[in-house]
Amino acid sequence: MDCVYDANHANYNSAYHNAATLDAMARSKIIATATRVRRDKDDPDITVLVAGNGVNVARVHMPADVRVTPLGVVTGAVTVTAVGPYGKKAHCTLAKQKPGHFHGTYTPNIVGSWVVTIRIDGKSVPGKRFTCNVYDPRKVKVFDTQPGILGRLCTFGVNTKEAGEGDLSVVVISPKGRIASRVRNEGLGKYRVSFSPEVVGMHKVFVNYNGDEIAESPFQIEVGNTSAISAHGKGLQRCRAGSRSTFKIKGCSGGDVKVTITGPSGASVPNITNVSGGNYVCEFTPFEAGDHEADVQYNGESIEGCPATIQVYDPRAVVIHGVDDGVVGQQCLFQIDVSQAGAGDVQIKILNHGRPVKWKLSSIEPNKLNVSFIPERAGPHDVTVTFEGDTVPGCPFRCNVIDPSRVVPIKHQPRVATAGRLTNFTVTTRDAGEGNTTFIITDPFGSVIPCRVENERHEVRAHWTPSDVGRHHVQVLFGGVEVPGSPFVVQSYDASKISLEDLDTNGRPGEMVEFTVNTEGAGEGDLKCHVAADGGATHVKSTVRKIAAERYAVTFRPESVGEHDVRVTYNGVDVPGTPFACNILNPDRVSVTGDGRKRVQLNTPYRFFVHTQGGGKGTVQCAVTGPGQVPVPCKLEDKHGGDFIGEFVPDAID
């Protein structure tokens, strides 16, 4: 049922209570929540303060209060609804205490989580749902209480399974005053309470649940001292499974001494040796880990401190799981299972080349531990785990740590390759640790290309042959981890498919020489042109310009006569037809002189001289025409050194 207060019959403005209310709730020990309620556009938003044990923790069958303080003008109804487990609703009452303050109560009648809904002017208060944990201290039960013995740990159990969630507190009062006690959560709502009595007499025990005393509280535990007989020794406290342990029994003057030691799964009969004067030595060898109960009886009565609990541990039962190799900068993790080893102290030592490595220990569940560390350097990490000072099986073990970031292509590693020709891709693994290097090479179509891997000291080389022209991807993994920068791109090309077009192997100084390079089908690459004159002594600047898809114009301007060596490369490889010679000539530097005669007799030979020094090395041709443009035979003789002698016989009069 909802509890409702209708503000239409008592309009108020609580804004002036804002500061006082916030201050009061800040001093209160009850949790308060402030949230804003959005209303219609004609009404301003308001802030609502909600407090009270009715929205926190409350006892079953006891009134739980809910205090609602809207900080603003409320013109409609204020409602509070409390719904328990299984949809059980509780009757609510709501009243205005003073302007701007509402006080509601409901009485939860079932243990569990209750949901409280508050509405202002028909709008639910937003934010997280208000929940109230309802508990019942009357359902807390004490069990397994036994009389105590001086000097021996006294324990009893507490069951809160039916009482709901809550905090359990225990106070033990001995005849001399309060003594320390310990509460251990055993799960599923059960607790084990223990204390060590220091004096003989009645001990009063108070048990509270969420601050409320339970029905059985207080109760009494009597602590007695049966005799002056005592048993002591390390074997009565802790011992190792499979090892001989002893403890002494003193003060036995005659009578029957009986010792029974019971393990977690059976019983063993110890060997008792009468030493002298009523003193005994109890010798036994436990074979399983866990708490053993030792009971020393004298004439049928347990002596002081018995039965005693002997904690038996077994380092041989410690199991280590999940030991894997690691990566620098990434968390390495393994588990230690001590569930079958008994109670004991676990110690861990991790060394990298003799240097200690920091580690963290955390519990993932009872008796199972997580060990984590973040390696900073590559190399073997030796791990030693001890249990109660003894090295556990399998230790020390080695965790191999690698650093894939140290695996990089060698300097000057080519990123281009010729299609159909064997090539290699090499990486260096120096300082990367010990690990297998794997190469996965795929062609432009995604097919895997086989490769042969070769290891040489700190370098690993993959030999492979590009199958097609195009982008090939080289994926590199070190220890199964992909290295930075992978996959690497290797561009495959075929320079044999490149051709030169519009090529003229002659030129003149100062005039542009131009030809075309066709790279169709050759793949991507770096096209360069190198022009040298004077036998390579002079470099001539050249330009490569893209004029169309896979077509380039190459130009250069010679400044001197003579042969110019032109070399065109594609990714550093000479393209077909290069290098070639481009002969640069200067006809303006060629001169012709006669033999000094201005008139020549008919049918008489006439000589003239051609001087080509400075004009370059070219072919000299001579053509003589007579009257009417009739060709006249002419002979030209190379006199070497750039000089030629020409001769013809005129056969017509002009």
Identical topology for domains 230-313 and 495-584: yes
Percentage of the chain exceeding pLDDT 70: 87
**Both tokens assigned to 238:** 């802790």
Beta bridge partners of 607: 647
What superfamily would CATH give domain 588-648? Answer: Immunoglobulins (2.60.40.10)
43 phi and psi angles, rounded to 5 deg: -110, 140
- Phi, psi for 425 (deg, rounded to 5): -130, 120
The CATH number assigned to the domain with range 230-313 reads 2.60.40.10
- How far apart CA 378 and CA 430 sit, in angstroms, is 10
CB atoms within 10 A of CB 122: 10
- Residues 325, 400: Cα–Cα separation, whole Å: 5
Into which CATH architecture does domain 138-224 fall? Sandwich (2.60)
Structure tokens of 473? 């991807």
For the record, the structure tokens of 259 come out as 């010792």
- Please give the CATH topology (third level) of the domain spanning 404-493: Immunoglobulin-like (2.60.40)
pLDDT at residue number 217: 93
Contact predicate 231/247, CB 8 Å:
yes
Please give the pLDDT value at position 80.
85
Domain 3-135: CATH superfamily, name plus number? Immunoglobulins (2.60.40.10)
Indicate the Cα dihedral angle 567, 571, 573, 579, nearest 10°.
Answer: -10
Quick one: pLDDT at residue 81?
Answer: 86
Would you call the peptide bond into 487 cis, given omega within 30 degrees of 0 as the criterion? yes
pLDDT classification of 157: cutoffs 50, 70, 90: very high
**pLDDT exceeds cutoff 90 at 370:** yes
Reading the block at residue 618, the tokens are: 């070219």
Which sequence spans correspond to the domains of the chain? Answer: 3-135, 138-224, 230-313, 315-402, 404-493, 495-584, 588-648
SS3 372: strand
Q: For the segment 390-437, what is each residue's pLDDT rounded down to a tens digit?
A: 999 999 999 999 999 999 999 888 888 999 899 999 999 998 988 899
Give yes or no for residue 594 having a pLDDT over 50: yes
Q: Is the per-residue pLDDT at 603 higher than 70?
A: yes
Residue 584 near residue 560 (C-beta atoms within 8 A): yes
Instruction: Give 620 or 437, the one with higher predicted confidence.
Output: 437
In this prediction, residue 127 carries a pLDDT of 52
CB atoms within 10 A of CB 225: 14
- Whole-model pTM over 0.75: no
Confidence band, pLDDT 50/70/90 cuts, at residue 641: confident
Instruction: Give CA 549 to chain center in angstroms.
Output: 46
Least confident of 39-43, 202-206, 377-381, 461-465: 39-43
Structure-block tokens of residue 293: 């109960």
pLDDT band at 456 (very low <50, low <70, confident <90, very high): confident
Provide the pLDDT for residue 22: 37
Burial track 613-648 (b if 16+ CB lie within 10 A, e otherwise): eebbeeeeeeebeeeeeeeeebeeeeeeebebebbb
Q: Is the pLDDT of residue 25 over 50?
A: no
- What mean pLDDT comes out for the span 133-145? 94
pLDDT, position 21:
38
Beta-carbon contacts of 640 under 8 Å, excluding residues fewer than 6 positions away, are: none
SS3 category, 555: strand
**pLDDT tens-digit readout, 164-216:** 999 999 999 999 999 999 999 999 999 999 999 988 778 999 999 999 999 99
Name which of 514, 517, 543, 518 is nearest 530 in CA terms: 543
- Among 202-211, 292-301, 344-353, 500-509, the range scoring the smallest mean pLDDT is 292-301
Mean pLDDT of 568-581: 91
Query: Residue 472 pLDDT > 90, yes or no?
Result: yes
Q: Give domain 495-584's CATH superfamily.
A: Immunoglobulins (2.60.40.10)
Find, among 347, 338, 335, the residue nearest to 367 by Cα.
Answer: 338
| Bond into 175 cis (ω within 30) | no
φ, ψ of residue 176 in degrees (nearest 5): -105, 5
pLDDT at residue 17, rounded to an integer: 37
Residue 158 pLDDT: 96
> How many C-beta atoms lie closer than 10 Å to residue 114's C-beta?
24
Res 13: pLDDT: 36
Q: Are 287 and 241 in contact (CB under 8 A)?
A: yes
* For the chain, percent of residues with pLDDT exceeding 90: 47
The set of residues, in sequence order, having a beta carbon less than 8 Å from that of 49 and lying 6+ positions away, is: 21, 22, 25, 32, 33, 34, 67, 68, 69, 70, 71
- Place 548 in a pLDDT band, splitting at 50, 70 and 90: very high
The model's pLDDT over 230-275, given as tens digits with 9 standing for 90+, comes to: 888 888 989 999 889 988 888 765 556 788 998 888 767 677 776 7
Q: What is the mean pLDDT of the chain?
A: 85
pLDDT at residue 220, as a whole number: 93
Q: Which strand (E) or helix (H) includes residue 24? A: helix 18-27
Q: pLDDT digit string (tens) for 480-516?
A: 999 999 999 999 999 889 999 998 888 889 899 999 9
The span from the CA of 140 to the CA of 235, in Å, is 37
pLDDT of residue 79: 83
Q: Based on the number of CB atoms within 10 Å of its own CB, is 597 exposed (0-12), middle (13-18) or buried (19 or more)?
A: exposed
Supply the pLDDT for residue 373.
95
Residue 225's pLDDT is what?
A: 60
Q: Two tokens at 563?
A: 């042969």
**Of residues 68, 60, 34, the one with CA closest to residue 164:** 60
- Average pLDDT of the residues in 103-129: 82
Query: CA triplet 410, 414, 418: central angle to 5 degrees?
Result: 145
Domain 315-402 fold: Immunoglobulin-like (2.60.40)
How much is the pLDDT for 70? 80
The verdict on whether omega for the bond into residue 587 sits within 30 degrees of 0, i.e. cis, is no
- Asked if 513 and 557 touch (Cβ cutoff 8 Å), the reply is yes
Predicted pLDDT at 224: 61
